[in-house]
Amino acid sequence: MTPPPHAATANDEIASTLRNRFRPVARMALNVDKRAEFASRIRTLFCSAEVMGCVVRHTFNVATDDKPGSRRRGRPPATDSAATREAILAGARKLFGERGFGPVTNKDLAAAAGITTGALYHYVESKLDLYLEVNRDMQSQIYEQFQKAEASEHTFIGKLEAVLEAAHVMNKQDPTLARFVGVVRTDIRRHPEIRERLHSSDERREEFFLRLVDCGTETGEIKPEHRPLVRAFVSLILVGLTEGNSSSIERHRRAIDSVLGVLRGELVSPPPEPAG
């Protein structure tokens, strides 16, 4: 079968490059029919071992057909790189949120993004690296909205209410965010490699909670000696909203309203003094 003209030209370039770099190997005379086979075999040998330079590897990537699932390094085209990365993160966040870290395979992750497993390795080195990248992206999205919300108010109750409302809006717009937040807590307990790498994100969350509580002490809403208790309370609220109530928008809304009702003193009151 005669190869198409563009393929023959590309294979000529590959063969020429190989002859220049590996004359003892490539000194043989190659006819047109053998060039494609020669280029394919040498590509597999040198590209997988990363012996050849980037220019030659790029030529291989363009000139020859890859089998599905073959692992291929290199920079993806700039035109679709950002869109593909978004698709990878969104698909991975959904899968990890539904199944956790362990059961998800690289094949699952590639399929969720609509790409091949080989193409996935253009963007991430491993499943763990992708999980960590999804976590960074999730943290960035959530805390960007939380910081905007808390900056819009000037009291502890006001800031906490704004943050809870922001959490509810995000849960309505993209439920995968809250699901992933919840599953990370489980995966941290099950997978030491995740626990070791996510320590900094815990610090960021605690710093955010601390700023909320500090505002309450400055406004007089929280006594200084109660700061540790209130910080634990705020942490418990947000953990409960993601782990226990994020799967249902109605339950999530009800849970937020109940928390705010308690804080405002609208739901629970001291029992009346006994008569007489």
Q: Are 150 and 242 in a shared domain?
A: yes
Name the more confident of 261 and 7: 261
Does 105 have pLDDT greater than 70?
A: yes
CATH of the domain at 98: 1.10.10.60
Using CA atoms, how far apart are residues 40 and 198, in angstroms rounded to an integer? 42
pLDDT of 63 reads 31
Residue 123 pLDDT class (50, 70, 90 cuts): very high
Q: Are 223 and 258 in a shared domain?
A: yes
- Residue 21: give the domain boundaries: 5-63
Q: How many domains does the chain have?
A: 3
* Nearest one of 207, 215, 203 to 162, comparing CA atoms: 215
Residue 198 pLDDT class (50, 70, 90 cuts): confident
Using CA atoms, how far apart are residues 245 and 256, in angstroms rounded to an integer? 10
Name the more confident of 255 and 54: 255
Q: Are 147 and 242 in a shared domain?
A: yes
In contact, 227 and 169? CB cutoff 8 Å: no
Residue 275 within any structural domain of the chain: no
Burial grade of 132 (CB within 10 A; 0-12, 13-18, 19 or more): middle
Residue 68 within any structural domain of the chain: no
- Tens of pLDDT, residue by residue over 133-175, are 999 999 899 989 999 999 999 999 999 999 999 989 998 899 8
Residue 179 within any structural domain of the chain: yes
13-27, 49-63, 139-153, range with the lowest pLDDT: 49-63
Residue 29 within any structural domain of the chain: yes
In contact, 180 and 93? CB cutoff 8 Å: yes
Residue 239 within any structural domain of the chain: yes
Name the more confident of 201 and 65: 201
Half-sphere exposure of 244 (CA within 13 A, CB side): 10
**Distant-in-sequence, close-in-space partners of 98: CB < 8 Å, separation ≥ 6:** 179
Q: Are 154 and 208 in a shared domain?
A: yes
Tell me the Cα Rg of the chain: 28
Does 44 have pLDDT greater than 50?
A: no
With a threshold of 0.75, does the pTM exceed it?
Answer: no
pLDDT of 209 reads 85
